[in-house]
Amino acid sequence: MTQDSPAGGTNGKYVGRPIARIDGPAKTSGQARFAAEYSYPDLAYAALVYSTIARGRILSMETAAAKAVDGVVAVLTHENAPPMKPAGKLSPFDVSSIAISTSVNYLATDEVHWNGQPIAVVVAETHEAAQYAASLVTATYQHWHAKVDFASEVPNAIPDKGIPFMTGKADKGDAMAALATSPFTVDLEFSTPQYNHNALEPHATTAVWDGDKLTVHEGTQSLTGVQGQLAKRFGIPKDNVRVLSPFVGGGFGGKARPWAGTLLAVLAARATGRPVRLTLTREGVYHTVGGRTASTQRVALGAGTDGQLASIVHTSVSRTGYVGGMPERITEVSHETYAAPNIYLQQSSMKLDLVSNTFMRAPGEAIGSFGLESAIDELAWDMGMDPIQLRMANEPDRGPVSGKVFAHRHLREAYAVGAERFGWDQRELRAGAMRDGRWLVGMGVATAHHTAMQLTSSVTVRLNADGTVVVRCAMQEMGMGAPTVQTQIVADELGVPLEAVRVEYGDTDLPWGAPAFGSVQTASVTAAVLAACTKLKQSVLTLARKQPASPFKGRKLPELDTRDAGLFFGTRGQSYVEILNAAGRNHVEVAYKPNMPAFLARTVRDVGWRPKAATGAQFCEVRVDADTGEVRVSRWLGVFDVGTVINARTAESQLRGGIIMGIGMALTERTLIDHRSGRIINPSLSEYHIPVHADVPHIDVQYLNKPEPNSPLGLLGLGEIGITGVPAAIANAVRHATGKRVLDLPITLDKVL
């Protein structure tokens, strides 16, 4: 049924229109309540105490001073905390196991696994008392040797075995031999630091027990992940856990799993018998929530004199923690970007005594595209070729590794549109040749790429006799506009006004929804919503046909139009209100529930023969101060092929946000982990430099708006693609401005000076 109207997306009354976010007024007027804004009678406040060593055993803890603070209810340590059940292991048979953030059984062990691990929780009558008392808890330790320094462990990294569904490895032809015989080659080593998410809303949890029933207010990207993990850790049935998350103040992957703060808020509530709120400080977020792995990459390319690539070698090193995390698919981007007869891709990783790494916007591809897209640019310099021309000379029509034909790929058009709009022909061919006063000016491009995935969802749609529609799905809203676009889709599918539709979300009591990560949510929920709407219309039609004077006698649904809040056959029709009233019904409700085993089987098959991806062309102009090396981005254009655009306003803000995050990745951001202690020493927005407004130029976002033939409504996920290619585009523009190739992010002025 998803195929019956792929183009319907662009022709709908609401779909394709830049509708303002329906939750905008609630947010701008302060009525939207976030996880730390729910009050309960007798609410207590919790604060965490963090270890100050990376690895070892706690010998003793001093809690008397903390207990003596006015208003302290409890100080929980491994000596007195009630136990949690173990985290378990990642398993393909247990979907909620993907929500395991670390394997540490907090407060049930005296072992310390990273510098900043929570070792105690203080519960008090006020947030301030809890924070102060937490600062008075001290520990003595037996120190063990700790491996915390990524750079010095790179030589010891071990090749990754393939992760199911997650490509990374490839060995096609003989890439090394082809490299050795290519007339033009580049062979570059890149490195990137750890990055952290820095969502505006720090992680917060309000936890309330009622017997063995648990209610949790939590900003999360995965309601069911939190629900499943909490059920497992606290030994209660899943249905006893209700997670509420109507608003999330940004996630970027950092809220895809429940971290220590969530577990410990629930533990503290159980131990004290009171509702507990735990709001992490910014520093607390850095210490307890993983970030994007540091990395190194080698990219070697060999090309003939015509610019055809003969060889692609792309290898990478990332890190996980001894306590968890997953290696990043850094070389995945080289599976899909350029055609070459010989391709060698290999990923390695190491374990460190740091908190687990985790998903951060476009894991793998954000880093991998920096290496690959910088290397292709450098090859263009070596060959004296235009970098867009070199890319187009190697644009594949089928997966370069898989050999499968792309069902949908419009990168050529993205570059053509972009080059025209950006004025690429104004670019001087020589490096350092464009100048504007004290600024050296450079232009750069890079390809954006994000593999599209789709999960599934359950959803109910209810049509009331007053003509209103209620859609219920436990999906997540982090500000992307998820309920807004579903409102648009349902209004079009049922032919009702936007105002008639209400989408309920952010609550595990609702039907199961896909998580908001991997750019899967919108496609996954849309597929279910479309199916449910068809089912609903069928039910309404069946009702209508039972009436003696029905205009639909003998008619089937595909013959009818849905418009003007009713069903029509030609000009003859009936409104939903009339149909329901005539049938004496106050509502009709349908549920769509996917058949999970069938869905999984289909997904496994599709991954093999129907590679899907969003792509794009990133164009930028940078200015580099000729004296000081300061780099500022002065213009940006991203032209994206993200399939059908349901809502240009919310889509653009996703893409623009990704580009801004990419500017930070390229120029200013880096998590500083002390190479001796393993401590993050810049855990604040003052010292971890995300871009400020003055760093961000006008960002022009364009789409091709071509429906993807195999996706619901033709849409491709677009939450992550925006960041991909951005660091390379900037590095390439800096190369053009200065003649310097920076291989190590971020591109701070000392590397350009």
Partner 1 sequence: MKPFTYLKPHDIEAAIPAGTPPGTKYLGGGTNLVDLMREGIEQPDHLVDITGLHLDGIEELPDGSLRIGAAVRNSTLAAHPKVRKGYRVLSEALLSGASGQLRNMATVGGNLLQRTRCPYFYSDAAACNKRQPGSGCDALDGFNRSCAVLGVSDSCIAAHPSDMCVALSALDAVVHVQGPGGTREIPLTELHRLPGDTPNIENTLEAGELVTAVVLPPPLSARSTYRKVRDRASYAFALASVAAALEIEDDKVTRIRLALGGVGTKPWRAYEAERLLLGGPADEQAYRRAAEAELAAATVRAGNAFKVTLAEATIVAVLRDLSKAGAGS
Residue among 717, 707, 719 nearest 16 (CA): 707
Instruction: Answer yes or no whether residue 672 interacts with partner 1 by CB under 8 A.
Output: yes
- Judged by CB under 8 A, which of 549, 554, 627, 698 binds partner 1? 627
Separation CA 279–CA 207 (nearest Å): 11
**Which of 128, 142, 20, 8 lies closest to 71 in space, CA to CA?**
128
CA 106-276-29 angle, 5° bins: 120
Cα 362 to Cα 280, 329, 456, 509: the distances in Å are 25, 10, 20, 30
Q: Looking at beta carbons only, is 583 or 696 nearer to partner 1?
A: 696
**84 to 123: interface string for partner 1, x by CB under 8 A:** -------------------------------x--------
Report in angstroms how near the CB of residue 350 gets to partner 1 at its nearest.
21
Q: Which of 85, 398, 404, 675 binds partner 1 (CB under 8 A)?
A: 675
Stretch that binds partner 1, among 212-220, 221-229, 679-687, 705-713 (CB under 8 A): 679-687
- Closest distance of CB 489 from partner 1, Å: 39
CB of 741 to partner 1, least distance (A): 18
Q: Binding segment for partner 1 among 83-91, 298-306, 527-535, 681-689 (CB under 8 A)?
A: 681-689
CB of 662 to partner 1, least distance (A): 15
Residues in contact with partner 1, counted by CB under 8 A, come to a total of: 37
**What is residue 639's three-state secondary structure?**
strand
Of 411 and 440, which has the nearer Cβ to partner 1? Answer: 440
Three-class SS state of 347: strand
Q: How far is the CB of 127 from partner 1 (least distance, A)?
A: 10
For residue 689, the minimal CB distance to partner 1 (Å) is 5
Q: How many CB atoms lie within 10 A of CB 318?
A: 28
Instruction: Give the contact letters, 426-445, x = binds to partner 1 (CB under 8 A), - = no.
Output: ------------x-------
Q: Kindly identify the residues of this chain, within the stretch 113-172, that bind partner 1 according to CB under 8 A.
A: 115, 128, 131-132, 135
Specify whether the CB–CB gap between 32 and 23 falls below 8 A.
yes
Q: Which of 682, 710, 740, 741 binds partner 1 (CB under 8 A)?
A: 682
Min separation Cβ 194 and partner 1, Å: 13
CB closer to partner 1 out of 210 and 687: 687
Among 695, 700, 710, 741, binds partner 1 (CB under 8 A): 695
Measured distance CA(731)–CA(689) in Å, rounded: 18
Which residue, 115 or 182, has its beta carbon nearer to partner 1? 115
Distance (Å) of CA 258 to CA 87, 140, 515, 634 = 11, 28, 13, 38
Instruction: State yes or no: residue 629 binds partner 1 (CB under 8 A).
Output: yes
For partner 1, give the closer residue by CB, 397 or 687: 687
Instruction: Identify which range of 31-39, 481-489, 524-532, 743-751 contacts partner 1 by CB under 8 A.
Output: 743-751
DSSP alpha helix (H) spans, 68-140: 127-136
> CA 244 → CA 110, 279, 728, distances in Å?
32, 16, 39
Q: Is 153 an active-site residue?
A: no
List 111, 174, 630, 744, residue binding partner 1 (CB under 8 A) = 630
Q: Which of these ranges, 94-102, 118-126, 500-508, 622-630, lies near partner 1 under the rule CB under 8 A?
A: 622-630
- Of 112 and 510, nearer to partner 1 (C-beta) is 112
Render 483-521 in DSSP notation, one character per residue.
HHHHHHHHHHHHT--GGGEEEE-SBTTSPB---S-TT-H
The angle subtended at Cα 335 by Cα 416 and Cα 156, nearest 5°, is 130
Nearest to 403 by CA among 638, 611, 574: 611
674 binds partner 1 (CB under 8 A): yes
Q: Which stretch binds partner 1 (CB under 8 A): 91-99, 140-148, 325-333, 625-633?
A: 625-633
Query: Segment contacting partner 1 (CB under 8 A): 178-186, 492-500, 563-571, 744-752?
Result: 744-752
The least distance separating partner 1 from the CB of residue 156, rounded to whole angstroms, comes to 22
Q: Is residue 52 near partner 1 by the rule CB under 8 A? A: yes
Smallest CA-to-CA distance from 323 within 3, 87, 498, 134 is with: 87
Q: Between 116 and 515, whose beta carbon lies closer to partner 1? A: 116
Stretch that binds partner 1, among 264-272, 452-460, 478-486, 688-696 (CB under 8 A): 688-696
What is the nearest approach in angstroms of partner 1 to the Cβ of residue 541? 59
CB of 47 or CB of 303, closer to partner 1: 47
Pick the closer one to partner 1 by CB: 421 or 675: 675
d(CA 357, CA 355): 6
Smallest distance, partner 1 to C-beta of residue 109, A = 20
Specify whether the CB–CB gap between 410 and 396 falls below 8 A.
no
Please tell me the distance from the alpha carbon of residue 655 to that of residue 283, in angstroms, as a whole number: 28
DSSP for residue 406: P
The residues, any chain, with a CB within 8 Å of residue 490's CB and separated by 6 or more, are 461, 469, 471, 496, 501, 503, 529, 533
Query: What is the layout of strands, in order, in the sheet containing 44-50?
Result: 72-76, 118-124, 44-50, 276-279, 204-210, 213-218, 241-244
- The least distance separating partner 1 from the CB of residue 668, rounded to whole angstroms, comes to 5
Pick one of 20, 177, 180, 692: the residue that binds partner 1 (CB under 8 A). 692
The residue (of 112 and 491) whose beta carbon lies closer to partner 1 is 112
Cβ 442 to partner 1, closest distance in Å?
A: 17
Q: Which residues pair with 439 in a beta bridge?
A: 436, 625
Of 240, 677, 705, 710, the one binding partner 1 (CB under 8 A) is: 677
> Considering beta carbons, is residue 53 or 265 the nearer one to partner 1?
53
Strand partners, 614: 450
CB of 70 to partner 1, least distance (A): 8
- Judge contact between 473 and 454, C-beta under 8 A: no
Residues 592 and 1 sit within 8 Å (Cβ to Cβ): no
The CA-based diameter of the chain, rounded to the nearest angstrom, is 86
**Of residues 128 and 382, the one with the C-beta less far from partner 1:** 128
694 touches partner 1 by CB under 8 A:
yes
- Figure out which of the listed residues 502, 610, 632, 649 binds partner 1, where binding follows CB under 8 A: 632
Q: Segment contacting partner 1 (CB under 8 A): 88-96, 184-192, 673-681, 724-732?
A: 673-681
Pick one of 186, 480, 667, 728: the residue that binds partner 1 (CB under 8 A).
Answer: 667
Which residue of 59, 177, 596, 753 would you call a contact of partner 1, by CB under 8 A? 753
Handedness of CA 285, 289, 290, 292 (dihedral sign): negative
Q: Is 460 in the site for partner 1 (CB under 8 A)?
A: no
- Give the residue from 9, 454, 2, 371 showing the smallest Cα distance to 189: 371
Q: Which two tokens stand for residue 623?
A: 């200015």
Give CA 43 to chain center in angstroms. 33
Going across the sheet that includes 459-464, the strands are 501-504, 469-472, 459-464, 587-592
Q: Residue 689, interface with partner 1 (CB under 8 A)? A: yes
Separation of alpha carbons 487 and 498, rounded Å? 7
Whether a cis peptide bond, with omega within 30° of 0, leads into 275 is no
| Catalytic residue IDs | 720
Binding interface with partner 1 (CB under 8 A): 52-53, 115, 128, 131-132, 135, 438, 625, 627-630, 632, 667-668, 672, 674-677, 679, 681-682, 684, 686-687, 689, 691-695, 748-750, 753
